[in-house]
């Protein structure tokens, strides 16, 4: 199945306009990265002032490139950017990554240029990401349509994560943090001002992309709430977790969002409600996004709330129990028969739940292994967290520890267990390769398991009424006040009775509505900024003939003209 974003995210041919021979420059970085990363397509630098760029033939303009490329990277000043985009459209280019800034994010002076940019995209069908963006990449293909510093390497490990952010610099920061956490990313997209391609459409692409199993997103504002709802529902149906950071929840943050990517932040409570409807995990920090993405990439989700807590420290066990209870887990005791079996093995063990194996397990491998098997076989827990301290890295116990957990994984391939252990990345890697997520901080292990449980429940439940949600969000996702008509529409979607009414633009439309209902009507001015319409004569009642309705409409139109500059009608 093809997608309209295929030329942008899976291009077979790429041109870089404003290409530089210097890899340190913005126009040189994408070429350097693609050469280093082994881009699998055809690459055409475009610069009228050079014959070769980084060892490749350079072309004077896009029309001289020997084929209509799938994607162009545009790295030119704003004053010539529109002409370059027009030439790309005329040359049959399918998509464009636009680094250039100086559009709607700078205010009124850039809005007109961005509107023209959108017009070109709509008329030509050329997909545009940006302007004012840091670009995109597809690691598996070696496609680097970006000048981000963190990506100029052929040694970056890939994985099942798709990242999409409105902010370019934050997108690069997030990628670095997730890589450091052991998260393998394949696709990465920064959307900037979103003249065409937006966060929602990229999420929808990820939802349908087989190589992507987990979706991570950052946004300052959403311009099309209905599209986002559809994208999130597509991800939920595909059983792909979405971890989302939505910022701009404060007045200061909303102002910053408007000046950064020209985004309207919107009411934060609306986003909270939408995320809950569609099973999105809303993260508050970058560290939280990285942790949840990390644990989700293992692809195991608990079927219920019952959790087993196992530890070699009684104090840690208390903390685990508190944290698990806080997150709503059922910390139910072990069956009495299982408690007795563990006590036969380790007489001083704590055998309720948490299960404290004590330091005695350091003396004999069989004690820990057999005790854990009893718990797995007999306790019917949906998930388990094990605190091992430095057991996996100590020179005295590391080999035995790895043997135990290798054996357990072979016997219980689908058992969901998170390990809390202390050690360098290479020691964790051995356990991660066996399918055990690893956390140094045991409280974060509980938070991660809570996220997995949340997604497990989300994937099992029926989806929301998508059409009703979309209709509601078309009105309320704009980040604006509501008119009486808009507010009543939302109340109607919620199931509350409202008066029979419609929104009209002409007197003839008003007359047609009156004929349809065959009853007297009232005419009101519709505006989100007018609280008391009667004070300005903005409500006319008991109209029951064509002449009266036409006169009333004309009168309200005159009133509207007088106030429209101060209050949009």
Strand partners, 282: 244
pLDDT(74) > 70: yes
pLDDT(108) > 60: yes
DSSP 8-state assignment for residue 526: -
Please, which residues have CB within 8 angstroms of residue 127's CB and are 6 or more apart in sequence? Answer: 4, 5, 7, 8, 94, 95, 96, 121, 196, 197
Average pLDDT over every residue of 345-351: 87
Q: Which of the four pLDDT bands, split at 50, 70 and 90, describes residue 495? A: very low
Between 486 and 93, residue with greater pLDDT: 93
Between 234 and 494, residue with greater pLDDT: 234
Among candidates 428, 449, 452, 432, which has minimal Cα distance to 440?
A: 428
pLDDT score, position 494: 47
pLDDT score, position 250: 60
Which residue is associated with the tokens 């990345």?
425
Average pLDDT over every residue of 60-78: 98
Phi, psi of 16 (to 5 degrees): -115, 110
**Alpha-carbon span 386 to 328, nearest angstrom:** 18
pLDDT(540) > 80: yes
pLDDT digit string, tens, across residues 313-336: 999 999 999 999 999 999 999 999
Q: Which of the four pLDDT bands, split at 50, 70 and 90, describes residue 168? A: very high
Average pLDDT over every residue of 255-275: 64
Q: Which of the four pLDDT bands, split at 50, 70 and 90, describes residue 201? A: very high
pLDDT score, position 425: 81
pLDDT(341) > 50: yes
> What percentage of the chain exceeds 70 in pLDDT?
87
pLDDT digit string, tens, across residues 545-559: 999 999 999 998 888
**Alpha-carbon span 189 to 443, nearest angstrom:** 32
The token pair at 383 is 């998930």
Question: What would the CATH number be for the domain defined by 307-450?
Answer: 3.40.50.261
pLDDT score, position 471: 53
pLDDT(265) > 50: no
pLDDT(261) > 70: no
189, burial (CB in 10 Å: exposed 0-12, middle 13-18, buried 19+):
buried
pLDDT score, position 462: 73
Average pLDDT over every residue of 18-39: 96
**Alpha-carbon span 86 to 96, nearest angstrom:** 11
> What percentage of the chain exceeds 90 in pLDDT?
67
Q: In the predicted model, what is the mean pLDDT of the chain?
A: 89
pLDDT digit string, tens, across residues 291-319: 999 999 999 999 999 999 999 999 999 99
Give CATH 3.30.1490.20 domain extents, the chain. 481-563
pLDDT digit string, tens, across residues 362-399: 677 788 889 999 999 999 999 999 999 988 878 878 88
Give CATH 3.40.50.261 domain extents, the chain. 307-450
DSSP-derived 3-state class of residue 58: coil
Domain boundaries 481-563, CATH class:
alpha beta
pLDDT score, position 8: 98
């Amino acid at each position: 199945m093809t997608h309209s974003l295929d030329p942008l995210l899976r291009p077979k041919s790429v041109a870089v306009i404003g290409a530089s021979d210097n890899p340190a420059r913005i126009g040189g970085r994408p070429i350097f990265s693609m050469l280093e990363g082994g881009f699998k397509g055809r690459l055409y630098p475009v610069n009228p002032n050079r014959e070769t760029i980084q060892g490749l033939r350079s072309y004077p303009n896009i029309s001289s490139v020997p084929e209509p490329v799938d994607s162009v990277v545009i790295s030119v000043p704003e004053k010539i950017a529109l002409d370059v985009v027009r030439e790309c459209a005329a040359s049959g280019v399918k998509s464009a990554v636009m680094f250039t800034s100086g559009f709607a994010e700078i205010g009124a002076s850039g809005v007109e240029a961005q509107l023209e940019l959108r017009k070109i995209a709509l008329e030509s069908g050329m997909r545009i990401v940006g302007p004012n963006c840091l670009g995109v990449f597809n690691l598996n293909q070696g496609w680097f349509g970006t000048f981000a510093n963190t990506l100029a390497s052929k040694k970056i490990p890939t994985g099942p994560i798709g990242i999409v952010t409105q902010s370019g610099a934050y997108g690069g920061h997030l990628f670095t943090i997730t890589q450091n956490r052991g998260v393998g990313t394949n696709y990465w997209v920064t959307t900037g001002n979103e003249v065409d391609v937006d966060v929602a459409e990229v999420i929808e692409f990820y939802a349908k992309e087989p190589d992507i199993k987990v979706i991570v997103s950052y946004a300052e504002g959403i311009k099309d709430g209905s599209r986002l709802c559809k994208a999130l529902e597509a991800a939920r149906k595909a059983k792909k977790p979405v971890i989302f950071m939505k910022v701009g929840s404060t007045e200061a943050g909303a102002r910053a969002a408007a000046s950064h990517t020209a985004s309207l932040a919107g009411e934060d409570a609306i986003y909270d409600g939408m995320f809950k409807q569609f099973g999105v995990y809303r993260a508050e920090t970058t560290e939280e996004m990285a942790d949840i993405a990390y644990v989700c990439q293992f692809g195991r989700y608990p079927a219920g709330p019952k959790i087993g807590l196992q530890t070699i420290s009684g104090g840690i066990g208390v903390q685990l129990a508190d944290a698990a209870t806080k997150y709503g887990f059922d910390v139910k005791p072990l069956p009495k028969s299982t408690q007795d079996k563990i006590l036969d093995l380790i007489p001083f063990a704590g055998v309720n739940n948490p299960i404290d194996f004590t330091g005695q397990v350091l003396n004999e491998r069989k004690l820990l292994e057999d005790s854990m098997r009893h718990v797995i076989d007999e306790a019917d827990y949906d998930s388990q967290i094990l605190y091992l301290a430095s057991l996996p890295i100590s020179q005295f116990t590391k080999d035995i520890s790895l043997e135990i957990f290798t054996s357990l994984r072979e016997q219980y391939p689908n058992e969901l267990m998170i390990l809390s252990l202390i050690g360098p990345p290479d020691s964790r890697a051995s356990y991660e390769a066996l399918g055990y997520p690893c956390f140094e901080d045991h409280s974060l292990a509980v938070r991660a398991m809570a996220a997995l449980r949340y997604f497990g429940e989300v994937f099992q439940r029926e989806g929301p009424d998508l059409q009703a949600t979309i209709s509601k969000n078309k009105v309320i996702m704009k980040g604006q006040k509501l008119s009486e008509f808009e507010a009543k529409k939302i109340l109607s979607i919620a199931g509350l009775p409202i008066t029979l009414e419609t929104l009209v633009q002409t007197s003839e439309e008003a007359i047609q509505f009156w004929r349809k209902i065959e009853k007297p009507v009232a005419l009101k001015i519709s505006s989100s900024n007018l609280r008391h319409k009667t004070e300005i004569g903005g409500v006319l009642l008991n109209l029951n003939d064509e002449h009266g309705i036409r006169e009333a409409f004309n009168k309200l139109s005159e009133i509207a003209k007088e106030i429209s500059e101060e209050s949009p009608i």
